[in-house]
Amino acid sequence: MICRAVARGRTAGIRLGIGDDAAVLRVPQGHEILVTTDFSLEGVHFRREWHPAASVGHRCLARGLSDIAAMGGEPRAAFLSLALPAGLPQRWVDEFVRGLLALAKKYGVTLAGGDTAQSPARVLADIVVVGSAPKGKAITRAGARPGDVLYVTGELGGSAAALDELYRGRKISAKKFARHFHPEPRVAVGCFLRERGWATAMIDLSDGLSTDLHHICEESGVGAEVLAEAIPSHHAASLEQALNGGEDYELLFTTRPGRKVPQKIAGVPVTRIGKIARSGVFLTRNGERENLAPGGWEHFRR
Amino acid sequence: MICRAVARGRTAGIRLGIGDDAAVLRVPQGHEILVTTDFSLEGVHFRREWHPAASVGHRCLARGLSDIAAMGGEPRAAFLSLALPAGLPQRWVDEFVRGLLALAKKYGVTLAGGDTAQSPARVLADIVVVGSAPKGKAITRAGARPGDVLYVTGELGGSAAALDELYRGRKISAKKFARHFHPEPRVAVGCFLRERGWATAMIDLSDGLSTDLHHICEESGVGAEVLAEAIPSHHAASLEQALNGGEDYELLFTTRPGRKVPQKIAGVPVTRIGKIARSGVFLTRNGERENLAPGGWEHFRR
């Protein structure tokens, strides 16, 4: 089980950790709060034979932090609900918690509560991340306008490329595929864009570029055009993987046409990959324009 | 008597619901936020053959609302993570959501987000409830002092009595055992006590009186004495069930000795059952004093 002491090391914003009916969080004056919740289910989001426990813990929290980053928010506290099968080695749990807490510490997030239960068979985790942003300043998916420019952070397809290797039964290097095993949520980039007021719409790439771009287009009531050659692919990834692979946890955002965006923000490369149009979502590849359908990322496509 | 914020049918506080990376919640000025998270796992917290889907949805949210009530908080928003097995009838899901939303509406809580996934076999739900309370006013488990008086709301043991009947394979009436199938979180009582500043410590009875009393004693660094004859038992419950049965979701709280507490708060009976002592947790029954050990409620004691 999770040690109570784990949550006792608390930062100033948290009044109560694990050990009361609810955690009490202070909210900075003039801020509103952001809440996101994400499952990490064995057999759906990870496999114990593929993912070291510390990576599972890291990825579990990274999913939530990335959602806060996509709003331009500052993450504050995390809550972990964890159901474990009876026979699970304590060492697995310790490593899971270690991976999760290492990432939490890096982003100044306190594990402030949660729930534990016995699971019939598989490991089930649900992470809640609470963040905040100045009132009215959180960046939604709904602000893109025709003519806006489309940017993406980092490289795409690395996580999908790693999964494909794992499916083929190959041993792969956690270092080469760090984006899969230890994705880095783009919190600093999100905050930077929110502070400057540059991003008109933003989303994190959890389902894959093609699908998440459709989410922005739907919420903003616009279309988009992407240039295939401009997409920054992971060196091991195909264009297909960069377009449709999920779990890269990069940020996809739009700016007004005149905005000068630097090539790096908070040390992370930022690449212009297209623009917002009136309607339809298109990919131009080798000079040919085609429809870009949502690639339908499905976890462990069974 | 109903707490002001509870009575106000609220949706104004939620800026974004399901459909962005995170929900954005406004926090009333001068409030801090309360966060609680609770699993509802098939086979652990409920069984599909025993509990109608609407009851499972109701109980799922009630667990979280009760935690907020135990802090004297005002519930604001809920987030539901739900993993469903492939073959589950849509009707079950519809009924589950209907039961959950009916309770949410009653308490002015918005379902503001969540996550969904496919489950390998059983229904897995995790509910997050976010509430708020004026800064520094949330009622913790830690404020009881020797001499304080111990009170409990409602009747105890009804939920355990229902479970025992179910274990014996008996059909039972959902009306007779409403406390099991449709527990009512004591939100208005919690708010009343917080507004008046009467409760020195409070907890909700999810694990059973004996266990939850120990939680208050541990966090407050005190002991307690309970009078068996004073415990308000459900008409179908034994003393054993009233002492050790879980999931009644009543409130257990303490007040300073001089405080006059009415027999009902917000329409709910309030009963004096004992007092806080320096150390030890004791039960006096037929004039004999014995140790009261934590009764160790375990869900579906397998």
At A250-280, the pLDDT tens digits run 999 999 999 999 999 999 999 999 999 999 9
Contact B79 A27 (CB under 8 A): no
Q: Which residue has the tokens 């479970």?
A: B163
Same domain assignment for residues B36 and B92: yes
Integer Rg of chain A from CA = 19
- What's CA B278's distance to the chain center, in Å? 27
State the pLDDT confidence band at A1, using cuts at 50, 70 and 90. very low
Q: How many CA atoms lie within 13 A of A200 on its CB side?
A: 23
Cβ pair B255, B200 in contact under 8 A: yes
pLDDT exceeds cutoff 50 at A109: yes
Contact B24 A138 (CB under 8 A): yes
Lowest mean pLDDT among A188-192, A260-264, B2-6, B272-276: B2-6
Supply the CATH number for residue B282's domain.
3.90.650.10
Contact B70 A117 (CB under 8 A): no
pLDDT exceeds cutoff 50 at A5: no
Same domain assignment for residues B37 and B111: yes
Let me know if residue B91 belongs to a domain.
yes
Q: What is the pLDDT of residue A298?
A: 46
State the pLDDT confidence band at B90, using cuts at 50, 70 and 90. very high
In terms of Cα–Cα distance, which of A224, A241, A244, A237 is closest to A284?
A: A224
Let me know if residue B302 belongs to a domain.
no
- Please name the residues in contact with A129: beta carbons below 8 A apart, sequence gap of 6 or more: A35, A36, A37, A61, A64, A65, A67, A68, A75, A77, A78, A109, B22
Let me know if residue B140 belongs to a domain.
no
Strands B268-277 and B264-265, sheet pairing? antiparallel
Same domain assignment for residues B67 and B187: no
In terms of Cα–Cα distance, which of B136, B91, B286, B186 is closest to A15?
A: B136
pLDDT exceeds cutoff 90 at A300: no
pLDDT exceeds cutoff 80 at B224: yes
Q: What is the pLDDT of residue A238?
A: 96
Closest CA–CA distance from residue A288 to any residue of chain B (Å): 32
Same domain assignment for residues B163 and B259: yes
A1: contact with B, CB 8 A cutoff: no
Q: What are A38's strand-pairing partners?
A: A127
Same domain assignment for residues A123 and A161: no
- Please name the residues in contact with A38: beta carbons below 8 A apart, sequence gap of 6 or more: A60, A63, A64, A67, A126, A127, B81, B115
What's the full length of chain A, in residues? 302
- What's CA B167's distance to the chain center, in Å? 23
Give the domain extent around B88.
4-134
| Burial letters A102-121, b for 16+ CB under 10 A, else e | ebbeebebbbbbbbebbbbe
Supply the CATH number for residue B73's domain.
3.30.1330.10
Same domain assignment for residues B94 and B168: no
**Can you tell me the distance from the alpha carbon of A158 to that of A283, in angstroms, rounded to the nearest whole number?**
20
Backbone angles phi, psi at A200, to 5 degrees: -90, -25
Same domain assignment for residues A93 and A173: no
Crossing angle of helices A90-106 and A53-70, in 10° steps, is: 30
Cβ pair A254, A200 in contact under 8 A: yes
Cβ pair A108, A142 in contact under 8 A: no
**pTM for the structure as a whole:** 0.90
Contact B33 A39 (CB under 8 A): no
Please tell me which of the candidates A35, A120, A140 has its beta carbon nearest to residue B130: A35
pLDDT exceeds cutoff 80 at A245: yes
**Can you tell me the distance from the alpha carbon of B50 to that of B60, in angstroms, rounded to the nearest whole number?**
15
**Can you tell me the distance from the alpha carbon of B60 to that of A219, in angstroms, rounded to the nearest whole number?**
30
Mean pLDDT of chain A: 91
In terms of Cα–Cα distance, which of B203, B238, B162, B190 is closest to B5?
A: B190
Same domain assignment for residues B171 and B222: yes
Let me know if residue A243 belongs to a domain.
yes
Q: What is the pLDDT of residue A121?
A: 84
Let me know if residue A116 belongs to a domain.
yes
Single-letter residue type at B184: E
In terms of Cα–Cα distance, which of A236, A220, A231 is closest to A295?
A: A231
Q: Of B74, B109, B134, at which residue does a domain stop?
A: B134
Closest CA–CA distance from residue A159 to any residue of chain B (Å): 20
pLDDT exceeds cutoff 80 at B299: no
Same domain assignment for residues B116 and B200: no
| pLDDT (average), residues A141-158 | 97
Backbone angles phi, psi at A119, to 5 degrees: -100, 145
Candidates A10, A67, A122, A126: best to mutate against B (most CBs of B within 10 A) is A126
Please tell me which of the candidates A67, A81, A135 has its beta carbon nearest to residue B39: A81
List pLDDT tens digits, range B227-269.
Answer: 999 999 999 999 999 999 999 999 999 999 999 999 999 999 9
Q: Which residues of A touch B16 (CB under 8 A)?
A: 138, 140
**Can you tell me the distance from the alpha carbon of A145 to that of A257, in angstroms, rounded to the nearest whole number?**
10
Q: What is the pLDDT of residue A75?
A: 97
Same domain assignment for residues B129 and B154: no
Let me know if residue A99 belongs to a domain.
yes
| Structure tokens that stand for B282 in this block | 């004791």
Q: What is the pLDDT of residue B9?
A: 33
State the pLDDT confidence band at A65, using cuts at 50, 70 and 90. very high
Q: Of B134, B167, B191, at which residue does a domain stop?
A: B134
Q: What is the pLDDT of residue B12?
A: 47
Whole-angstrom distance between the N-terminal and C-terminal Cα of chain B? 42
Q: E-strand spans in chain B?
A: 23-25, 31-41, 74-85, 110-119, 124-134, 149-153, 199-204, 223-227, 251-255, 264-265, 268-277, 281-285, 288-291
- Please name the residues in contact with A55: beta carbons below 8 A apart, sequence gap of 6 or more: A46, A99, A174, A181, A182
Lowest mean pLDDT among A202-206, B118-122, B212-216, B284-288: B118-122
**Can you tell me the distance from the alpha carbon of B39 to that of B128, in angstroms, rounded to the nearest whole number?**
9
Cβ pair B20, A215 in contact under 8 A: no
B95: contact with A, CB 8 A cutoff: no
Q: Please, which residues 194-223 of chain B have a Cβ atom closer than 8 Å to chain A? A: 202-204, 219
List pLDDT tens digits, range B159-199.
Answer: 999 999 999 999 898 888 999 999 999 999 999 999 999 99
For chain A, how many structural domains are there in total?
2
**Can you tell me the distance from the alpha carbon of B71 to that of B190, in angstroms, rounded to the nearest whole number?**
7
Which ipTM did the prediction report? Answer: 0.87
Same domain assignment for residues A161 and A130: no
Same domain assignment for residues B18 and B128: yes
Single-letter residue type at B216: I
Q: Which residues of B touch A43 (CB under 8 A)?
A: 120
- Please name the residues in contact with A49: beta carbons below 8 A apart, sequence gap of 6 or more: none
Q: Of B134, B166, B194, at which residue does a domain stop?
A: B134
Let me know if residue B155 belongs to a domain.
yes
State the pLDDT confidence band at A20, using cuts at 50, 70 and 90. confident
Q: What is the pLDDT of residue A3?
A: 36
Let me know if residue A80 belongs to a domain.
yes
List pLDDT tens digits, range B42-68.
Answer: 998 999 999 999 999 999 999 999 999
Contact A24 B34 (CB under 8 A): yes
Share of chain A above pLDDT 70, in %: 92
List pLDDT tens digits, range B113-155.
Answer: 988 888 888 999 999 999 999 999 999 999 999 999 999 999 9
Backbone angles phi, psi at A67, to 5 degrees: -65, -40
